[in-house]
Structure 1
Amino acid sequence: MRETTRRIFITRSIASGCVVLAAPALTHAAPSRVEEADDTAVALGYKHDTQKVDRQRYPKHSSAQLCSNCSFFQGGAGDAWGGCAMFGRKHIAAAGWCAAWAKKPG
């Protein structure tokens, strides 16, 4: 009887260890993406594609202005999506644009 209890203890210990080791991988899920209909996105005129920005509402917008060349973009060079200081933990499209666009220094 004692051996069965030891086996159960060892099995449960191993299973618990696997859960502890897998937990960090579960917390690194991809961040959600900003939807154009989100309140902040609407307020900033955000579009996933800079070519689809309302030119009448934003006459100073240029198609050369992309999220990827904005100082608030937190993605790396070549990333299709990345973080943005304006949108908290959500990611934005590198090819997108919003009214908070500011030229990246350098």
Structure 2
Amino acid sequence: MKRRDFLKLSAATTGAALIPVHNLYAQDEKLSPDDPQAKALNYVEESEKEGQRCDNCVHAKGDLESEWVGCNLFPNKQVKASGWCNVWAER
């Protein structure tokens, strides 16, 4: 291997090691109603609106049959499927 090729490979390998890797197996934490963003959107864990729940909202993602679901509004957090917030929109 030529010295120039070795230096290019070394630089590329070192640079790749600096790129953060997202753990695909990490569990998202559950959203607390006390979270500042949750408070701003009036998030509650038990919806009082007839037919409006997080699990039938357009922003919900993931397994919509679970007790906790992902939400596009709260990245890396899960919301209670029976919850609700001001941004609820019909799926």
Contact 1:75–1:81 (CA<8 Å) still a contact in 2? no
In structure 2, which of residues 40, 50, 61 is the aligned counterpart of residue 63 of structure 1? 50
Could you say if the C-alpha distance between residues 27 and 86 of structure 1 is closer, same or farther in structure 2, counting changes exceeding 3 Å?
A: closer
The structure with more helix, counted as a fraction of residues: 1
In structure 2, which of residues 50, 72, 75 is the aligned counterpart of residue 85 of structure 1? 72
Q: How many percent identity over aligned positions?
A: 32
| TM superposition shift of 1:75 | 2.7
Calculate the aligned-residue CA RMSD, in Å. Answer: 1.5
Whose radius of gyration is greater, 1 or 2?
Answer: 1
Contact 1:67–1:97 (CA<8 Å) still a contact in 2? yes
User: 1:38 aligns to what?
Assistant: 35
The structure with more strand, counted as a fraction of residues: 2
How many Å separate the matches in 1 of 2:87 and 2:32?
16
- 5+ residue gaps, structure 1, are 1-25, 52-61
Q: TM-score, normalised by structure 1?
A: 0.60
- 5+ residue gaps, structure 2, are 1-22
Deviating beyond 4 angstroms after TM superposition, the runs of 4 or more aligned structure 1 residues are none
Contact 2:62–2:69 (CA<8 Å) still a contact in 1? yes
Q: TM-score, normalised by structure 2?
A: 0.69
